[in-house]
Amino acid sequence: MRMPKPVTPRLTADCVAVDAKGRVLLIRRKHPPFVGHYALPGGFVDVGETVEHACRRELMEETGVKAGALQLVGVYSDPKRDSRFHTAAVAYLTRVRSPKAVAGDDAAAAEWVTDWRKEALAFDHALILRDAMRLLKQGR
């Protein structure tokens, strides 16, 4: 007898990409929720894919930027982080050498932002960015 598949949160991967000037790469969302808002590049993990690969893939698909080494920022699983359904995000930090970004896939725009704290960010991405900046300051 086969057991039914459990109903679980949908797994996503988000990428905090930082260049040598300390700018953060953000996209402008093309689709709901948060259309037009800044967000971290990221998206759903495909079946058979690692979260690390999903992070690298989403960064490349949405911005054309290749990730360097990935450093785990954290796991974000507040059931209310996405108004559509329960998601759990694994967020990574990467330092980028070649900062030329071009919007693609789900991104209406891809921009290097110096002062992201002044922007209204989608989901819980301000929290993820604060945690990532703390890691950078600690030199990890």
Full-model pTM: 0.91
**Could you give the CA distance from residue 80 to residue 19 in angstroms, rounded to a whole number?**
31
pLDDT band of 40, cuts 50, 70, 90: very high
**94-137 residue pLDDT tens:** 999 877 877 776 777 889 999 999 999 999 999 999 999 999 98
pLDDT over threshold 80, residue 30: yes
Contact between 13 and 45 under an 8 Å Cβ cutoff? The reply is: yes
**pLDDT given at position 140:** 61
Q: Could you give the domains of the chain?
A: 12-137 (3.90.79.10)
Smallest CA-to-CA distance from 43 within 70, 15, 68 is with: 15
**Could you give the CA distance from residue 104 to residue 122 in angstroms, rounded to a whole number?**
18
**pLDDT given at position 66:** 92
**Could you give the CA distance from residue 140 to residue 138 in angstroms, rounded to a whole number?**
6
Query: Would you say the C-alpha torsion 60, 35, 39, 102 has a positive or negative sign?
Result: positive
Cross-strand pairs, 29: 107
**pLDDT given at position 62:** 92
Q: In whole numbers, what is the pLDDT of the chain averaged over residues?
A: 92
**pLDDT given at position 88:** 97
